[in-house]
Amino acid sequence: MSRLTFGTLFPLLLLLAWIPRPASAEGTVEERLERAEEEIKELKQDLKQKTPDESDTQESKLSFHGYGELHYNRPRIEASGFPAHDLSPTFDFHRLVLGWSYLFTDRLSLHAEIDFEHAAQEIELEFAYLEYAFNDGVHVRGGAVLMPVGPLNEYHEPTHFYSVERPYVQRFIIPTSWQAGGGGLLGEAAPGLRYRIYVVQGLNAQNFTALEGMKGGQDPLFEDTNTAFDFGGVGRLEYTGLPGFAVGASLYSADAGQDDPVIGTAQVTLWDVDVRYRVLGFDLSGLYVRTHIGGADRISAATGETISSRQYGWYLEGAYHLSQLIDAEWDLVPFVRFEMLDTQADVPTLLPMPGGERQIVVTGLAFFPHPDVAVKADLERWRDDTGEAAYRYNFGLAFEY
Protein backbone atom coordinates (compact mmCIF):
# COMPACT_ATOMS: atom_id res chain seq x y z
CA MET A 1 0.00 0.00 0.00
CA SER A 2 1.39 3.42 -0.87
CA ARG A 3 2.13 6.02 1.74
CA LEU A 4 -0.62 8.32 0.45
CA THR A 5 -3.27 5.62 0.60
CA PHE A 6 -2.23 4.41 4.03
CA GLY A 7 -2.11 7.93 5.45
CA THR A 8 -5.60 8.63 4.06
CA LEU A 9 -7.21 5.47 5.38
CA PHE A 10 -5.77 5.61 8.88
CA PRO A 11 -7.63 8.80 10.04
CA LEU A 12 -10.89 7.38 8.60
CA LEU A 13 -10.41 4.21 10.63
CA LEU A 14 -9.87 6.27 13.75
CA LEU A 15 -13.11 8.22 13.11
CA LEU A 16 -15.02 4.94 13.03
CA ALA A 17 -13.43 4.01 16.32
CA TRP A 18 -15.74 6.19 18.40
CA ILE A 19 -18.66 3.75 17.98
CA PRO A 20 -18.62 1.67 21.21
CA ARG A 21 -19.14 -2.09 21.03
CA PRO A 22 -18.49 -5.02 23.39
CA ALA A 23 -14.89 -6.01 24.20
CA SER A 24 -13.05 -8.16 21.68
CA ALA A 25 -11.50 -11.57 22.18
CA GLU A 26 -7.97 -10.13 22.06
CA GLY A 27 -6.70 -9.81 25.64
CA THR A 28 -4.33 -7.32 27.18
CA VAL A 29 -0.97 -8.45 28.52
CA GLU A 30 -2.44 -8.32 32.03
CA GLU A 31 -5.38 -10.53 31.01
CA ARG A 32 -2.93 -13.03 29.43
CA LEU A 33 -0.92 -13.12 32.65
CA GLU A 34 -4.05 -13.72 34.71
CA ARG A 35 -5.09 -16.47 32.31
CA ALA A 36 -1.66 -18.13 32.60
CA GLU A 37 -1.79 -17.91 36.38
CA GLU A 38 -5.21 -19.56 36.41
CA GLU A 39 -3.89 -22.39 34.24
CA ILE A 40 -0.99 -22.96 36.64
CA LYS A 41 -3.40 -22.97 39.59
CA GLU A 42 -5.56 -25.56 37.81
CA LEU A 43 -2.48 -27.74 37.20
CA LYS A 44 -1.55 -27.47 40.86
CA GLN A 45 -5.09 -28.38 41.94
CA ASP A 46 -5.04 -31.31 39.54
CA LEU A 47 -1.83 -32.57 41.16
CA LYS A 48 -3.43 -32.45 44.59
CA GLN A 49 -6.48 -34.42 43.46
CA LYS A 50 -4.65 -37.20 41.56
CA THR A 51 -3.23 -40.25 43.26
CA PRO A 52 0.41 -41.31 42.54
CA ASP A 53 -0.59 -44.41 40.59
CA GLU A 54 -2.72 -42.58 38.03
CA SER A 55 -1.18 -42.92 34.58
CA ASP A 56 -1.54 -39.26 33.61
CA THR A 57 0.08 -37.77 36.74
CA GLN A 58 3.40 -37.24 34.99
CA GLU A 59 1.73 -35.54 32.02
CA SER A 60 -0.15 -33.16 34.31
CA LYS A 61 3.18 -31.94 35.71
CA LEU A 62 4.63 -31.00 32.31
CA SER A 63 3.31 -28.33 29.94
CA PHE A 64 4.69 -26.85 26.72
CA HIS A 65 4.46 -23.38 25.21
CA GLY A 66 6.29 -21.19 22.73
CA TYR A 67 6.04 -18.63 19.97
CA GLY A 68 7.46 -17.76 16.57
CA GLU A 69 7.61 -14.99 13.98
CA LEU A 70 8.49 -14.72 10.29
CA HIS A 71 9.53 -11.26 8.98
CA TYR A 72 9.83 -9.69 5.55
CA ASN A 73 11.87 -6.46 5.78
CA ARG A 74 12.53 -3.99 2.95
CA PRO A 75 15.29 -2.90 3.43
CA ARG A 76 17.26 -4.38 6.31
CA ILE A 77 18.65 -2.33 9.18
CA GLU A 78 22.42 -1.98 9.16
CA ALA A 79 24.70 -2.27 12.19
CA SER A 80 24.40 1.46 12.84
CA GLY A 81 20.75 1.02 13.72
CA PHE A 82 19.33 2.73 10.62
CA PRO A 83 17.68 1.29 7.47
CA ALA A 84 20.32 0.85 4.77
CA HIS A 85 19.22 1.75 1.23
CA ASP A 86 21.89 -0.48 -0.33
CA LEU A 87 20.85 -3.64 1.55
CA SER A 88 18.43 -5.95 -0.24
CA PRO A 89 15.04 -6.94 1.19
CA THR A 90 15.01 -10.20 3.09
CA PHE A 91 12.87 -12.92 4.63
CA ASP A 92 13.88 -13.95 8.14
CA PHE A 93 12.28 -16.61 10.31
CA HIS A 94 13.38 -14.42 13.16
CA ARG A 95 12.44 -16.60 16.09
CA LEU A 96 11.10 -20.02 16.92
CA VAL A 97 10.92 -20.43 20.68
CA LEU A 98 10.24 -23.72 22.44
CA GLY A 99 9.39 -23.53 26.13
CA TRP A 100 8.21 -25.79 28.91
CA SER A 101 7.20 -25.76 32.55
CA TYR A 102 7.44 -28.63 35.01
CA LEU A 103 5.76 -28.86 38.41
CA PHE A 104 7.85 -30.85 40.87
CA THR A 105 5.23 -30.10 43.53
CA ASP A 106 2.38 -27.63 43.83
CA ARG A 107 4.96 -25.11 45.12
CA LEU A 108 8.21 -25.91 43.28
CA SER A 109 8.40 -25.50 39.49
CA LEU A 110 10.85 -25.20 36.59
CA HIS A 111 10.40 -22.83 33.61
CA ALA A 112 12.62 -22.62 30.52
CA GLU A 113 12.71 -21.44 26.89
CA ILE A 114 15.15 -22.07 24.04
CA ASP A 115 15.20 -19.53 21.20
CA PHE A 116 16.13 -20.71 17.69
CA GLU A 117 16.87 -17.43 15.89
CA HIS A 118 17.17 -16.64 12.18
CA ALA A 119 15.97 -20.01 10.86
CA ALA A 120 17.84 -21.82 13.67
CA GLN A 121 21.23 -20.37 12.64
CA GLU A 122 21.60 -19.06 16.19
CA ILE A 123 20.47 -20.76 19.40
CA GLU A 124 19.97 -18.80 22.61
CA LEU A 125 18.81 -19.61 26.11
CA GLU A 126 15.85 -17.30 26.64
CA PHE A 127 15.50 -18.16 30.33
CA ALA A 128 15.69 -21.13 32.68
CA TYR A 129 14.82 -20.80 36.35
CA LEU A 130 13.43 -22.58 39.38
CA GLU A 131 10.61 -20.98 41.36
CA TYR A 132 9.26 -21.77 44.81
CA ALA A 133 5.94 -20.32 45.95
CA PHE A 134 5.54 -19.72 49.68
CA ASN A 135 2.19 -18.05 48.97
CA ASP A 136 0.69 -15.61 46.43
CA GLY A 137 2.62 -12.76 48.00
CA VAL A 138 6.10 -14.32 48.07
CA HIS A 139 7.80 -16.48 45.43
CA VAL A 140 11.53 -17.18 45.20
CA ARG A 141 13.04 -17.39 41.70
CA GLY A 142 16.60 -18.22 40.64
CA GLY A 143 18.55 -19.14 37.50
CA ALA A 144 18.80 -17.42 34.14
CA VAL A 145 16.10 -14.77 34.55
CA LEU A 146 14.69 -12.05 32.32
CA MET A 147 15.20 -8.55 33.69
CA PRO A 148 11.94 -7.01 34.95
CA VAL A 149 12.61 -3.77 33.04
CA GLY A 150 9.90 -2.16 30.92
CA PRO A 151 6.63 -3.77 29.86
CA LEU A 152 8.07 -5.96 27.07
CA ASN A 153 11.29 -7.58 28.27
CA GLU A 154 9.64 -10.37 30.29
CA TYR A 155 6.55 -10.78 28.09
CA HIS A 156 7.84 -10.19 24.55
CA GLU A 157 5.80 -12.72 22.57
CA PRO A 158 5.03 -11.20 19.13
CA THR A 159 1.26 -11.28 19.69
CA HIS A 160 1.75 -8.82 22.58
CA PHE A 161 2.70 -5.92 20.29
CA TYR A 162 1.19 -4.75 17.01
CA SER A 163 4.25 -3.90 14.88
CA VAL A 164 6.34 -6.46 13.02
CA GLU A 165 9.47 -5.45 14.92
CA ARG A 166 9.65 -4.75 18.64
CA PRO A 167 9.68 -1.03 19.57
CA TYR A 168 13.19 0.28 18.95
CA VAL A 169 13.40 2.06 22.31
CA GLN A 170 13.13 -1.42 23.82
CA ARG A 171 15.97 -2.59 21.62
CA PHE A 172 18.64 0.12 21.79
CA ILE A 173 17.92 1.66 25.23
CA ILE A 174 16.38 -1.34 27.02
CA PRO A 175 18.24 -4.28 25.43
CA THR A 176 15.20 -6.56 25.02
CA SER A 177 15.24 -9.47 25.56
CA TRP A 178 17.63 -8.95 28.46
CA GLN A 179 18.62 -11.99 30.50
CA ALA A 180 21.16 -12.52 33.28
CA GLY A 181 22.10 -14.95 36.01
CA GLY A 182 20.57 -14.17 39.39
CA GLY A 183 17.43 -14.43 41.42
CA GLY A 184 15.21 -12.94 44.07
CA LEU A 185 11.63 -12.41 45.17
CA LEU A 186 8.38 -11.75 43.33
CA GLY A 187 4.69 -11.86 44.03
CA GLU A 188 1.51 -9.86 44.57
CA ALA A 189 1.97 -7.40 47.44
CA ALA A 190 -1.68 -6.29 47.31
CA PRO A 191 -4.61 -6.84 44.95
CA GLY A 192 -3.44 -5.65 41.53
CA LEU A 193 0.07 -4.72 42.75
CA ARG A 194 2.87 -7.04 41.53
CA TYR A 195 6.56 -6.77 42.34
CA ARG A 196 9.86 -8.38 41.30
CA ILE A 197 13.23 -7.71 42.94
CA TYR A 198 16.40 -9.61 41.99
CA VAL A 199 20.13 -9.65 42.56
CA VAL A 200 21.72 -10.13 39.11
CA GLN A 201 25.02 -10.21 37.24
CA GLY A 202 26.04 -6.85 35.79
CA LEU A 203 26.50 -6.03 32.11
CA ASN A 204 29.91 -6.03 30.43
CA ALA A 205 30.91 -2.49 29.34
CA GLN A 206 33.52 -3.90 26.93
CA ASN A 207 30.66 -4.63 24.54
CA PHE A 208 28.87 -1.28 24.67
CA THR A 209 28.72 0.62 21.36
CA ALA A 210 28.04 4.19 20.31
CA LEU A 211 24.82 3.66 18.36
CA GLU A 212 23.44 0.44 19.87
CA GLY A 213 24.08 1.50 23.46
CA MET A 214 24.14 -1.27 26.05
CA LYS A 215 22.55 -3.84 23.71
CA GLY A 216 25.77 -5.84 23.30
CA GLY A 217 26.63 -5.71 27.00
CA GLN A 218 24.72 -8.87 27.88
CA ASP A 219 27.00 -11.80 28.67
CA PRO A 220 25.60 -15.20 27.59
CA LEU A 221 25.82 -17.63 30.49
CA PHE A 222 28.63 -19.62 28.86
CA GLU A 223 31.70 -20.25 31.00
CA ASP A 224 34.24 -19.57 28.24
CA THR A 225 32.96 -16.04 27.58
CA ASN A 226 30.99 -15.00 30.66
CA THR A 227 32.64 -12.56 33.11
CA ALA A 228 30.87 -12.25 36.46
CA PHE A 229 32.91 -10.05 38.81
CA ASP A 230 30.15 -7.46 39.29
CA PHE A 231 26.58 -7.76 40.52
CA GLY A 232 23.73 -5.37 41.18
CA GLY A 233 19.99 -5.15 41.64
CA VAL A 234 16.86 -4.77 39.55
CA GLY A 235 13.24 -4.30 40.55
CA ARG A 236 9.83 -3.54 39.11
CA LEU A 237 6.39 -2.57 40.43
CA GLU A 238 3.20 -2.90 38.35
CA TYR A 239 -0.34 -1.86 39.22
CA THR A 240 -3.26 -3.35 37.29
CA GLY A 241 -6.04 -2.88 39.83
CA LEU A 242 -8.24 -0.66 37.63
CA PRO A 243 -10.07 -2.10 34.59
CA GLY A 244 -8.08 -1.59 31.39
CA PHE A 245 -5.33 0.33 33.17
CA ALA A 246 -1.73 -0.73 33.85
CA VAL A 247 1.21 1.32 35.09
CA GLY A 248 4.72 0.13 35.85
CA ALA A 249 8.11 1.39 36.96
CA SER A 250 11.52 -0.33 36.85
CA LEU A 251 14.96 0.38 38.29
CA TYR A 252 18.28 -1.33 37.50
CA SER A 253 21.70 -0.54 38.95
CA ALA A 254 24.94 -2.56 38.63
CA ASP A 255 28.63 -2.14 37.86
CA ALA A 256 29.59 -3.08 34.29
CA GLY A 257 33.37 -2.75 34.69
CA GLN A 258 33.83 -6.50 35.25
CA ASP A 259 37.36 -6.02 36.68
CA ASP A 260 38.72 -4.43 33.51
CA PRO A 261 41.80 -2.41 34.61
CA VAL A 262 41.23 0.33 32.02
CA ILE A 263 37.51 0.74 32.58
CA GLY A 264 37.53 0.43 36.37
CA THR A 265 34.13 1.16 37.90
CA ALA A 266 31.32 1.65 35.38
CA GLN A 267 28.09 1.93 37.32
CA VAL A 268 25.05 1.58 35.05
CA THR A 269 21.72 2.91 36.27
CA LEU A 270 18.51 2.56 34.25
CA TRP A 271 14.94 3.50 35.14
CA ASP A 272 11.69 3.50 33.23
CA VAL A 273 8.04 4.43 33.67
CA ASP A 274 5.37 2.94 31.42
CA VAL A 275 1.59 3.14 31.22
CA ARG A 276 -1.16 1.47 29.20
CA TYR A 277 -4.89 2.22 29.06
CA ARG A 278 -7.51 0.33 27.10
CA VAL A 279 -11.13 1.46 26.87
CA LEU A 280 -13.91 0.99 24.28
CA GLY A 281 -11.48 -0.66 21.88
CA PHE A 282 -8.81 2.03 22.15
CA ASP A 283 -5.36 0.86 23.28
CA LEU A 284 -3.04 3.69 24.34
CA SER A 285 0.45 3.15 25.74
CA GLY A 286 3.62 5.07 26.47
CA LEU A 287 7.10 4.58 27.93
CA TYR A 288 10.01 6.74 29.05
CA VAL A 289 13.43 5.24 29.88
CA ARG A 290 16.70 6.86 30.89
CA THR A 291 20.16 5.45 31.60
CA HIS A 292 23.35 6.78 33.16
CA ILE A 293 26.73 5.11 32.56
CA GLY A 294 29.56 5.97 34.92
CA GLY A 295 33.08 6.11 33.52
CA ALA A 296 31.88 6.59 29.93
CA ASP A 297 35.20 8.26 29.03
CA ARG A 298 37.17 5.24 30.27
CA ILE A 299 34.84 2.83 28.44
CA SER A 300 35.38 4.86 25.25
CA ALA A 301 39.14 4.64 25.69
CA ALA A 302 39.02 0.88 26.30
CA THR A 303 36.63 0.00 23.45
CA GLY A 304 37.36 2.62 20.81
CA GLU A 305 33.63 3.43 20.78
CA THR A 306 32.14 6.82 21.62
CA ILE A 307 30.13 5.91 24.72
CA SER A 308 27.63 8.40 26.12
CA SER A 309 27.20 8.83 29.86
CA ARG A 310 23.48 9.42 29.31
CA GLN A 311 20.95 7.73 27.04
CA TYR A 312 17.19 8.08 26.84
CA GLY A 313 14.19 7.00 24.84
CA TRP A 314 10.42 7.26 24.80
CA TYR A 315 7.43 6.32 22.70
CA LEU A 316 3.69 6.88 22.44
CA GLU A 317 1.39 4.41 20.70
CA GLY A 318 -2.29 4.46 19.83
CA ALA A 319 -4.30 1.57 18.42
CA TYR A 320 -7.93 0.64 17.89
CA HIS A 321 -9.59 -2.80 17.79
CA LEU A 322 -12.00 -2.77 14.84
CA SER A 323 -13.75 -5.89 16.16
CA GLN A 324 -15.55 -3.38 18.43
CA LEU A 325 -17.51 -2.20 15.38
CA ILE A 326 -18.83 -5.57 14.24
CA ASP A 327 -18.49 -7.80 17.32
CA ALA A 328 -16.37 -10.33 15.40
CA GLU A 329 -14.28 -13.22 16.68
CA TRP A 330 -11.33 -11.93 14.65
CA ASP A 331 -9.73 -8.53 15.16
CA LEU A 332 -8.11 -5.90 12.92
CA VAL A 333 -5.97 -3.31 14.70
CA PRO A 334 -4.70 -0.13 12.99
CA PHE A 335 -1.98 1.55 15.04
CA VAL A 336 0.56 4.35 15.01
CA ARG A 337 3.67 4.72 17.21
CA PHE A 338 6.12 7.60 17.56
CA GLU A 339 9.55 6.80 19.02
CA MET A 340 12.47 9.00 20.00
CA LEU A 341 15.80 7.65 21.26
CA ASP A 342 19.32 8.98 21.71
CA THR A 343 22.35 6.82 22.57
CA GLN A 344 24.70 9.86 22.31
CA ALA A 345 22.86 12.32 24.57
CA ASP A 346 25.88 13.30 26.72
CA VAL A 347 29.37 12.30 25.55
CA PRO A 348 32.19 13.36 27.91
CA THR A 349 35.39 14.84 26.39
CA LEU A 350 34.50 13.66 22.86
CA LEU A 351 32.16 14.81 20.12
CA PRO A 352 28.96 12.74 19.89
CA MET A 353 28.86 10.29 17.01
CA PRO A 354 26.39 11.50 14.35
CA GLY A 355 23.24 9.43 14.08
CA GLY A 356 22.78 8.71 17.79
CA GLU A 357 19.48 10.59 17.97
CA ARG A 358 16.75 8.83 15.99
CA GLN A 359 13.04 9.35 15.41
CA ILE A 360 10.87 6.50 14.14
CA VAL A 361 7.19 6.72 13.20
CA VAL A 362 5.52 3.35 12.63
CA THR A 363 2.03 3.03 11.11
CA GLY A 364 0.45 -0.31 10.37
CA LEU A 365 -2.22 -2.97 10.70
CA ALA A 366 -2.29 -6.16 12.73
CA PHE A 367 -4.89 -8.83 11.90
CA PHE A 368 -5.74 -11.40 14.58
CA PRO A 369 -7.77 -14.36 13.25
CA HIS A 370 -7.22 -15.73 16.77
CA PRO A 371 -5.88 -13.91 19.87
CA ASP A 372 -2.66 -15.98 19.62
CA VAL A 373 -2.11 -15.59 15.85
CA ALA A 374 -1.29 -12.34 14.04
CA VAL A 375 -0.63 -11.16 10.48
CA LYS A 376 1.12 -7.77 10.48
CA ALA A 377 2.11 -5.05 8.02
CA ASP A 378 3.66 -1.68 8.77
CA LEU A 379 5.69 1.23 7.42
CA GLU A 380 8.57 2.78 9.39
CA ARG A 381 9.71 6.37 8.75
CA TRP A 382 13.19 7.05 10.14
CA ARG A 383 15.09 10.30 10.65
CA ASP A 384 18.30 10.98 12.59
CA ASP A 385 20.20 14.04 13.83
CA THR A 386 22.18 14.26 10.60
CA GLY A 387 18.99 14.87 8.62
CA GLU A 388 19.13 11.47 6.93
CA ALA A 389 15.72 9.94 6.31
CA ALA A 390 14.66 6.44 5.31
CA TYR A 391 11.57 4.27 4.87
CA ARG A 392 11.22 0.61 5.75
CA TYR A 393 8.36 -1.78 4.93
CA ASN A 394 7.72 -4.82 7.11
CA PHE A 395 5.38 -7.81 6.91
CA GLY A 396 5.11 -10.52 9.51
CA LEU A 397 3.42 -13.72 10.66
CA ALA A 398 3.36 -14.36 14.41
CA PHE A 399 1.96 -17.01 16.72
CA GLU A 400 1.98 -18.06 20.35
CA TYR A 401 0.90 -21.37 21.85
**DSSP secondary structure string, 70-126?**
EEEEES-B-TTSSB-TTSPPEEEEEEEEEEEEEESSSSEEEEEEEEEETTTTEEEEE
pLDDT category of residue 349 using cuts at 50, 70 and 90: confident
φ/ψ of 177, rounded to 5, equals -90, 125
Q: What is the CATH number of the domain that holds 271?
A: 2.40.160.10
Domain around 42: 3-400
- DSSP code at position 276: E
What are the residues whose beta carbons fall under 8 Å from the beta carbon of 256, sequence distance 6 or more?
202, 203, 204, 205, 208, 214, 217, 230, 263, 266, 267, 268, 293
φ/ψ of 154, rounded to 5, equals -80, -35
In the predicted model, what is the mean pLDDT of residues 114-130? 96
Number of domains comprising the chain: 1
pLDDT value of position 67: 98
Among the residue ranges 124-128, 206-210, 322-326, 393-397, the one predicted with the least confidence is 322-326
- DSSP code at position 285: E
Under 8 Å between Cβ of 219 and 225: yes
pLDDT in tens, 8-64: 333 333 333 333 333 333 344 455 545 555 655 564 455 445 444 444 456 689 999
Under 8 Å between Cβ of 147 and 234: yes
Helix (H) or strand (E) holding 10: helix 3-16
Alpha-carbon distance of 367 to 332, in angstroms, equals 4
Alpha-carbon distance of 52 to 37, in angstroms, equals 24
pLDDT in tens, 160-172: 999 999 999 999 9
**Is the predicted pLDDT of residue 292 greater than 70, yes or no?**
yes
Would you tell me how many other CB atoms lie within 10 Å of the CB of residue 365?
20
pLDDT in tens, 58-92: 668 999 999 999 999 999 988 778 998 888 999 99
pLDDT in tens, 350-396: 789 999 999 999 999 999 999 999 999 999 999 999 999 999 999 99
